[in-house]
Structure 1
Amino acid sequence: MKLRTFTLLAALALVLALIVPTVGAQGITYSSGFQVQNLSGNTANISITFYNQDGSVAGSTSDTIAANSSKTYFPIPVVSNGFNGSAVISSDQPVAAITNLLGNYPTYGGSTTGFTSGANSVGLPLIMRNNNGFSTWFNVQNTGSSPANVTVTYRPAPGQPGNSGQTDTATIQPGAAKTFNQADKSGLGSTFIGSATVASDQPVVAMVNQVGTGGIQALLMYDGFTGGSNTVQAPLIMANNSGFFTGLSIQNVGGSDTTATIDYSANTAGAFNPTDETVSIPAGGSAVVLQNAGQWGSNKYIGGATVSASQPLEVVVNQLKIGTVSFGTAYEGFNPTNLTDKVSAPLLMANNSGFYTGVQCQNTSGSSTTVSVAYGPNTAG
């Protein structure tokens, strides 16, 4: 029997649910849950092992998931109240997973995907401290078989506030995760806007939480990158879309300075045709491009973007609506060489305690195509 293994982070709850610390990062109490989708036509036998941050096993459980179906784990099974750690899921069938994180429910909510492998270098394109009320915290999980010696290097973006030369170090046991909280790192400066690189002698993965605790209260989450590409696809870019706008955080993970070009696709919401933009990014550095000022003005735009450069890039897209009640999400840009003609979504919802989902598709080929969405069995009724 061949087992496929991937990891889920649980930073101060990150992958794991209603049973988390009563006090979490930045004064917020977090809880989480995760969904596992069976991608095969056979029943999947899965095992889930939960790890404390010191590397000890907090609990384990086994389960089955029907063919082409999914299961939700909320609250987290078999761990004690106050659990703060990570999880590893093994299966005899191909599976996918996502994590949902809630904070001071219903104020904060976000989601990210599970990992199938790690890398010795992980890029984090957007890291913040006191940026208009936003700060980040992230977890790094060791996916290797030996203790991981980890160094985090922070770099302020050109023209943005923050101190250079700041680092963090940690030793992380196999399967375990370590939390790095930038709100507590005064060495970054009173305000920091930039990026970070995680270097390790064992393969690791990382998950970043962007938390607004001031006038804008929102949680935006993204996965760390284990490699860049000279072209990155961003399926959803917005300006003035019922109050929503986007921002791209672009990290240059190459060895030379580069100029990144942002090529905006056709506007599906009106006649406005945005001008492509360019931005200079030093080696190892990052830049932020927002769609809420300048040419965007009051123009409504819903489309996509292609970001390209002579050096490998990693891109995070933030989507934000600012108001009496703020909303925000984030996603990772896609390497076009990894794109496929079939995509799985472990969790889709409608009328689920007020929650619903939407799917944005981008065609990166030179020809028109027809997209079909096949919904899995309804686990709610």
Structure 2
Amino acid sequence: MHAPWSGFLRYLLVVAFVVATLSGGAQPAAAATAYLDGFITSSSTGAPLANVCVTLGPPTLCTTATDADGYYKIDGFVPGPTFWVVYYNKEGYARLEAHNVQIDANNTRLNWALNPGTATCARPEQPNTTVYLPNITKTLGGPTGWYTPFIVQNTNRFTITSLQVDFYSFSTGILVARRDICALKPGQSFADVPNNDNDLSGDSQYAVVVKSYMTDIVAVVNEHQGVGDRTEAGSYVGASSGATKVSLPNIVRRFYGFVTPIIIQNVGTAGTTATASFISFDGTKTASITRQIEPGRSQFIDPNSEIDLIDQTQYAVTVSASQPLSVIVNTHNDAPTVGAPVMYSANGIVGGADTIYGPYAVKNVVGIGKGLSTIVVQNTGTASVTPSLTFTPLAGSGTTTFNGPAVAAGAAWVFDPRFINGDTTQILCGAAATTGCLANGEYSFVGSGGVGGKIAAVVNVIGDTTAAGYSASTQPATRLFLPNVTRRLGGTDGWSTPLVLQSVTATSLHLSWYKFADGSLAASQDVPITPKQSLRIDPRDILGLANETQYAVVVDATGGTATGIVVELNFQGGDGAMIYEGFAR
């Protein structure tokens, strides 16, 4: 795969690189007639230094940060006798302090060269947001084993933030490494590639906690393994909060080659016992498995290693604890004897909803990132429910509804479109639509828990050589952030990422495509859409977009709400398909 840690990292919106409001520390007077500017370089290399945090007065918040050329500028000074103290902070460099700085009518320029060393980031005492990444690895399993680059982005449009990134060992729970990122600009991302980190051991696994001190952030993890036709890829998103009850609709043990390790992170403030309650899809098999987890740390449950679980069995699982948890599930079919290994990842689901939305499902369509979708619906409530699924052809009209059986609290129902009424005990459907059968094709769906029912669902998209999956939306919104959208990144057959956007009640969608490199608006479009309908929008078809380029997309819905996913496709061999859910805001 083409440099996945640098070329296929997921980023959110770069709306504009705007000088932050001067809210942290001293400020120039309101009558602005002069400015302070300059260039910052490295004393050891002479190269310009980007993202240097420049602060007036006590270093609490960044006033501004240097750009790619090392340039900074602070407007708003009134020339006069006032003397300022200016601080310059960047991770990996010693702090520089400039005292008795006076701004005159001709403006003032201060150029500096920072010395390598240790800087203390400008930030308040308490973080604004904390994001949890349960599973971060470095060459886990060997030199071509699992590695998980992760990306953290500042989603604020105006304010610079600083980050603290802590790595906790899976095996010991000890804090083994810390990163301080001093000046993350509005819309900008920080990426960490564990394989390149000398302070992390190889063949290792970590729980990571990311604190942002001034703004909200989001985080995405890319999971990769293997080379050539044996590459695998999956992804999950970081959680900024957890829950004491998390639903996992589809957990298996040696199920036609698949297994689903569960990774549980304690995002609370005290140690806790996490209890995973298993119930088989037919309701006849149950098990309870516990893990003791300290704050910020992670533990895993491997179904293949648990003696109370049964081979060739699918389970619905509810994980509960006295402290909030974040949970992810990695789904594998990648034994050495498997000719086309595949993997995908999904986050555990919190709460559920009476109505859920799936932008994409497929029945018997050939292609990378296509194939067959099974939909696993879990009852997240406390009483029995009778769920239903209503399908609409992709970009089409007309609906087909399937009613499921009664599903007990915590249990699950699997819908497989190959069979009449989605029931694997019935006979196979043909290619055409008939009573109880969908035609072969691509669809969106809406799930209902019935009166008073709460449900959640995961959608599996399994092809001959690829696998992907996502969680159905429980919280549609009027604005969606799609962190990383690419067009032929890594060559003609490289990563391209079609969007699949579903209207809940919206009648129009406005898409803004921002170039990641400089935040400029590369394209915009207005797309009419019918409620409950999904549309595929492929960046390869959009005028104004360029190959070998990454974009962040913002979707604004008119007339109601929407939801969406990004389907990440690579045509260079192996398991070149992943799906991630858009961030609702």
Q: Same fold (TM over 0.5)?
A: yes
After TM superposition, give the deviation of residue 177 of structure 1 in Å: 0.2
State TM-score, norm by structure 2.
Answer: 0.58
Q: How many residues align?
A: 361
In structure 1, the residue matched to 2:176 is 58
Structure 1 position 104 matched with structure 2 position 226? yes
1:259-303 Cα distance to aligned partner (Å, 9 max, x none): 11101124437x8x6631111222210011123344763334222
In structure 2, the residue matched to 1:35 is 151
Q: Is the 8 A contact 2:280 2:286 kept in 1?
A: no
Structure 1 position 48 matched with structure 2 position 165? yes
- Bigger radius of gyration among the two: 2
Structure 2 residue matching 1:22: 3-state secondary structure:
coil
1:130-149 Cα distance to aligned partner (Å, 9 max, x none): 11111110100000111111
Q: Is the 8 A contact 1:97 1:346 kept in 2?
A: no
Q: 1:376 to 1:43 in 2, by over 3 A?
A: farther
Percent identity between the two aligned chains: 20
Q: 1:212 to 1:313 in 2, by over 3 A?
A: same
Q: Is the 8 A contact 1:194 1:287 kept in 2?
A: no
In structure 2, the residue matched to 1:256 is 383
1:28-61 Cα distance to aligned partner (Å, 9 max, x none): 9321111222211232311111111232102010
Find 2:478's aligned residue among 341, 359, 368: 341
**Rounded Cα–Cα distance in structure 2 between residues aligned with 1:4 and 1:334:** 23
99-108 or 254-263, which deviates more: 99-108
In structure 2, the residue matched to 1:226 is 350
After TM superposition, give the deviation of residue 241 of structure 1 in Å: 2.9
Structure 1 position 302 matched with structure 2 position 420? no
In structure 2, the residue matched to 1:72 is 191
1:70-127 Cα distance to aligned partner (Å, 9 max, x none): 2332235442222212101111221111111112245211011110111111110000
**Rounded Cα–Cα distance in structure 1 between residues aligned with 2:141 and 2:344:** 21
Q: What amino acid maps onto 1:178 in structure 2?
A: Q
Structure 2 residue matching 1:188: 3-state secondary structure:
coil
1:285-324 Cα distance to aligned partner (Å, 9 max, x none): 00111233447633342221110013111111111112xx
Q: What amino acid maps onto 2:446 in structure 1?
A: T
Q: Is the 8 A contact 1:70 1:346 kept in 2?
A: no
Structure 2 residue matching 1:183: 3-state secondary structure:
helix
After TM superposition, give the deviation of residue 376 of structure 1 in Å: 4.0
Q: What amino acid maps onto 2:448 in structure 1?
A: S
76-85 or 284-293, which deviates more: 76-85
**Rounded Cα–Cα distance in structure 2 between residues aligned with 1:292 and 1:327:** 19
Structure 1 position 4 matched with structure 2 position 129? yes
Q: What amino acid maps onto 2:293 in structure 1?
A: I
Structure 2 residue matching 1:186: 3-state secondary structure:
coil
Q: What amino acid maps onto 1:307 in structure 2?
A: G
1:173-212 equivalences under 5 Å are 173-212=294-333
Structure 1 position 278 matched with structure 2 position 392? no
42-51 or 111-120, which deviates more: 42-51
Q: What amino acid maps onto 1:286 in structure 2?
A: A
**Rounded Cα–Cα distance in structure 2 between residues aligned with 1:187 and 1:254:** 25
**Rounded Cα–Cα distance in structure 2 between residues aligned with 1:30 and 1:59:** 19
Q: 1:189 to 1:215 in 2, by over 3 A?
A: farther
**Rounded Cα–Cα distance in structure 1 between residues aligned with 2:418 and 2:190:** 38
After TM superposition, give the deviation of residue 153 of structure 1 in Å: 1.1
Gaps of 5+ in 2: 1-123, 422-428, 432-438, 519-547, 550-585
1:85-100 equivalences under 5 Å are 85-91=206-212, 92-100=214-222
46-55 or 103-112, which deviates more: 103-112
**Rounded Cα–Cα distance in structure 1 between residues aligned with 2:417 and 2:142:** 35
**Rounded Cα–Cα distance in structure 2 between residues aligned with 1:184 and 1:262:** 34
Q: 1:197 to 1:303 in 2, by over 3 A?
A: same
Aligned-pair Cα RMSD in Å = 2.3
In structure 1, the residue matched to 2:495 is 355
Gaps of 5+ in 1: none
1:196-250 Cα distance to aligned partner (Å, 9 max, x none): 1111111111000110134652112110112111111111112233342211111
Q: Is the 8 A contact 1:55 1:174 kept in 2?
A: no
Find 1:313's aligned residue among 455, 468, 488: 455
Q: Is the 8 A contact 1:36 1:346 kept in 2?
A: no
**Rounded Cα–Cα distance in structure 2 between residues aligned with 1:364 and 1:124:** 24
**Rounded Cα–Cα distance in structure 1 between residues aligned with 2:386 and 2:410:** 13
**Rounded Cα–Cα distance in structure 2 between residues aligned with 1:190 and 1:370:** 46
**Rounded Cα–Cα distance in structure 2 between residues aligned with 1:364 and 1:198:** 30
**Rounded Cα–Cα distance in structure 1 between residues aligned with 2:163 and 2:516:** 19
